[in-house]
Amino acid sequence: MSRLEIEPGRLDFDADGVPASPAYGDVFHSAAGGPEQARHVFLHGNGLPRRWAGRQHYAILETGFGLGLNFLATWAALRQDSSAPRRLDFFSAERHPLTRDDLQRAHQHWPALEPLARQLRAAWPPLMSGFHRLHLDGGRVTLTLLLGDALEALSRLDGCFDAIYLDGFSPSRNPHMWSPDLFAQLARLGCASATLATWSVAGEVRRGLTEAGFELDRRPGFGDKREMLVGRRSGPETGTAERAAARRAVVIGAGLAGSAVAERLAARDWSVTVLERQRTPASGASGNPAGILLPLFNLIDGPRARLSRACLLYALRHLGALADEGAPLRHQACGVLQLARDADHAARQQRIVEALALPPSVLDYVDTAAAARLCSQAVAGPGWWFESAGWVCPPDYCAANLFRHAGCVDLRLGASASRIVGANDDWTVLDERGMALACAPVVILASGYEAAQLAQAKHLPLTPVRGQVSYLPASRTRPLRVPVCREGYVTPAIDGIHCFGASFATGIGDPRPTTADHDANLARLERVLPGFAAGTDAGTLQGRVGWRTATPDRMPMVGALSPADMADTPAHVASHRRGLHVLLGLGARGMVWGQLCAELLAARINGEPLPLERELVAALEVERFVRGRRRTAPR
- Using one digit for the tens of pLDDT, what is the confidence trace for 517-543? 999 999 999 999 999 999 999 999 999
**Is the distance from CB of 89 to CB of 59 less than 8 angstroms?**
yes
CA neighbours closer than 13 Å in the CB half-sphere of residue 539: 0
Distance CA 340, CA 362 (A): 17
Distance CA 448, CA 594 (A): 12
CB atoms closer than 10 angstroms to residue 31 = 14
pLDDT above 70 covers a percentage of the chain that reads 94
Residue 386 clears pLDDT 80, i.e. is over it:
yes
**Is the distance from CB of 24 to CB of 169 less than 8 angstroms?**
yes
pLDDT average, residue stretch 469-483? 93
The one-letter code for the residue type at 443 is V
Residue 631 clears pLDDT 60, i.e. is over it:
no
Answer whether the bond into residue 563 is a cis peptide, omega within 30°: no
Smallest CA-to-CA distance from 617 within 631, 603, 634, 633 is with: 603
Distance CA 560, CA 583 (A): 9
pTM, two decimals, is: 0.94
List the domain boundaries for the chain.
Answer: 12-232, 248-283+395-460+552-632, 336-387, 463-550
Query: What burial class does residue 295 get, using C-beta atoms within 10 Å of its C-beta: 0-12 exposed, 13-18 middle, 19+ buried?
Result: buried
**Is the distance from CB of 259 to CB of 240 less than 8 angstroms?**
no
Residue 43 clears pLDDT 70, i.e. is over it:
yes
pLDDT band at 168 (very low <50, low <70, confident <90, very high): confident
Residue 240 clears pLDDT 50, i.e. is over it:
no
Residue 135 clears pLDDT 80, i.e. is over it:
yes
Distance CA 557, CA 554 (A): 9
Specify the pLDDT at position 107.
94
Integer Rg of the chain from CA: 26
Distance CA 190, CA 185 (A): 9
φ, ψ (nearest 5 deg) of residue 220: -60, 135
Specify the pLDDT at position 3.
57
Specify the pLDDT at position 241.
43
Distance CA 494, CA 484 (A): 15
pLDDT above 90 covers a percentage of the chain that reads 81
Residue 236 clears pLDDT 50, i.e. is over it:
yes
Specify the pLDDT at position 563.
56
Specify the pLDDT at position 608.
96
Distance CA 300, CA 268 (A): 36
For the domain covering 12-232, report its CATH number. 3.40.50.150
Residue bearing the bigger pLDDT, 413 or 167: 413
Q: What is the pLDDT of residues 402-437, one digit of tens each?
A: 999 989 999 999 999 999 999 888 999 999 999 999
DSSP, collapsed to helix, strand or coil, labels residue 114 as helix
DSSP, collapsed to helix, strand or coil, labels residue 195 as strand
Residue 8 clears pLDDT 60, i.e. is over it:
yes
Handedness of CA 254, 257, 263, 266 (dihedral sign): negative
Specify the pLDDT at position 572.
38
Q: Locate the DSSP E strands across 86-184.
A: 87-94, 130-136, 141-147, 161-166
pLDDT average, residue stretch 15-26? 77
Specify the pLDDT at position 627.
63
pLDDT band at 237 (very low <50, low <70, confident <90, very high): low
Distance CA 221, CA 200 (A): 9
Specify the pLDDT at position 570.
45
pLDDT band at 218 (very low <50, low <70, confident <90, very high): very high
- Considering only the C-alpha atoms of the chain, give the largest distance between any 2 of them, rounded to a whole number of Å: 83
For the domain covering 248-283+395-460+552-632, report its CATH number. 3.50.50.60
Residue bearing the bigger pLDDT, 578 or 85: 85
Distance CA 405, CA 627 (A): 38
φ, ψ (nearest 5 deg) of residue 349: -55, -45
Query: What burial class does residue 14 get, using C-beta atoms within 10 Å of its C-beta: 0-12 exposed, 13-18 middle, 19+ buried?
Result: exposed
Angle (CA) 247 251 255, round 5°: 140
| DSSP class per residue in 501-564 | E---EEB---SS--HHHHHHHHHHHHHHSTTTTTT--GGG-EEEEEEEEE-TTS--EEEEPPTT
Specify the pLDDT at position 245.
55
Strand 484-486 relative to strand 336-339, pairing: parallel
Structural element, H or E, at residue 307 = helix 303-324
**Is the distance from CB of 175 to CB of 193 less than 8 angstroms?**
no
Specify the pLDDT at position 516.
97
Residue 596 clears pLDDT 70, i.e. is over it:
yes
Handedness of CA 442, 446, 452, 457 (dihedral sign): positive
Residue 567 clears pLDDT 90, i.e. is over it:
no
The one-letter code for the residue type at 601 is L
What letter would DSSP give residue 614?
H
Residue bearing the bigger pLDDT, 137 or 301: 137
Q: Locate the DSSP E strands across 340-406.
A: 364-366, 383-386, 390-392
Residue 27 clears pLDDT 80, i.e. is over it:
no
pLDDT average, residue stretch 36-45? 96
pLDDT band at 569 (very low <50, low <70, confident <90, very high): very low
Distance CA 23, CA 9 (A): 8
Structural element, H or E, at residue 396 = helix 394-404
Under 8 Å CB-to-CB from 119, ≥6 apart: which residues? 136, 137
Architecture category of domain 463-550 in CATH: 2-Layer Sandwich (3.30)
Q: What is the pLDDT of residues 442-468, one digit of tens each?
A: 999 999 999 999 999 999 999 999 999
Specify the pLDDT at position 528.
96
